[in-house]
Amino acid sequence: MTTSHVHDLLALHAGGDLDPTDTVRVEAHLATCPDCLALAQAYAESRAWLAAAPDAPFSGGERRAIREAVMDQVRREARPRVQARIPAWKPLLGVAAALMLLLAGLRAWQPTTSPAPSLAQVSKPQTASHDTPVADASRPAQATSGAATSARTGPTDCPDTAPTMAQERPTRTVQMARLQAPADSASDGPQPLAAPTRIEIQTDNPNIRIIWLAQATPEPTGTPSPKE
């Protein structure tokens, strides 16, 4: 180990910043080298002199003035901080409002199931128009997408699954019964129609209209005819 090498380490050795291996080597060298030992002592004294120096030259009044100036600024900055801490629930309000709007929109978009088709759609027998697709009410059929009732589907349901005609039939059956019944509500049951009746039901899909042609036939009198 050369003297210059030890000199380079003495500054760190003075503060105990050497690793254990270097510390042992330096101390072993100091035991045999008076020049390096004198320099090590000089380092220790200068560190002690620096550490013994008094603190910053600020009186108690000056320190108080510094704190008051800081507190003035802190109070100004804290007003938005206090206000910002209050509305922890504001984001929740926004979420709740968005949910309510979404629900309202869904309800407005969903067709109602209770009202019956307009009586204007009920007409005398007419030639079926061929320009609009007519659904055969005698057979259950798959409704196309966008069919009337989508109220059965909720927000979490698959939006692409449209209710089938079989699902719609109960609603339409109720409507048909209502149409068949005359204004006299005292009747026990639906009265047979006197003439063929064409009943048209327009679904939500503008391209789909259900047309039902119904005609009651009188009960045969006398011996019942054998069933064929």
Q: How far apart are CA 5 and CA 26, in angstroms?
A: 9
DSSP SS3 for 123: strand
Closest separation in Å from C-beta 88 to other proteins: 12
List helix spans (H) across 15-59. Answer: 20-30, 34-51
Answer for which of 1, 24, 28, 66 binds other proteins (CB under 8 A) is 66
85 counts as binding other proteins under rule CB under 8 A: yes
List helix spans (H) across 34-123. Answer: 34-51, 60-85, 90-109
Closest separation in Å from C-beta 25 to other proteins: 16
28 counts as binding other proteins under rule CB under 8 A: no
- The amino acid present at 202, given as its one-letter code, is Q
Regarding beta strands 122-123 and 209-214, do their DSSP bridges make them parallel or antiparallel, or are they unpaired? unpaired
Answer for which of 52, 88, 120, 195 binds other proteins (CB under 8 A) is 52
31 counts as binding other proteins under rule CB under 8 A: no
Q: Which of 202, 220, 219 is nearest to 210 (CA)?
A: 202
Q: Say how many residues touch other proteins, by CB under 8 A.
A: 36
38 counts as binding other proteins under rule CB under 8 A: no
Answer for which of 50, 108, 120, 194 binds other proteins (CB under 8 A) is 50
Answer for which of 27, 35, 62, 157 binds other proteins (CB under 8 A) is 62
67 counts as binding other proteins under rule CB under 8 A: yes
The CA-based dihedral angle spanning residues 41, 47, 48, 53, taken in that order and rounded to the nearest 10 degrees? 150
Answer for which of 2, 21, 61, 75 binds other proteins (CB under 8 A) is 75
43 counts as binding other proteins under rule CB under 8 A: yes
Residue 54 or residue 115: which is nearer to other proteins going by CB? 54
Q: How far apart are CA 136 and CA 75, in angstroms?
A: 78
Answer for which of 4, 31, 59, 77 binds other proteins (CB under 8 A) is 77
CA 52 to chain centre: 64
Regarding beta strands 209-214 and 134-135, do their DSSP bridges make them parallel or antiparallel, or are they unpaired? parallel
Q: Which positions touch other proteins (CB under 8 A)?
A: 8, 11-12, 14-15, 17, 42-43, 45-47, 49-58, 62-63, 66-67, 69-71, 73-75, 77-78, 81-82, 85
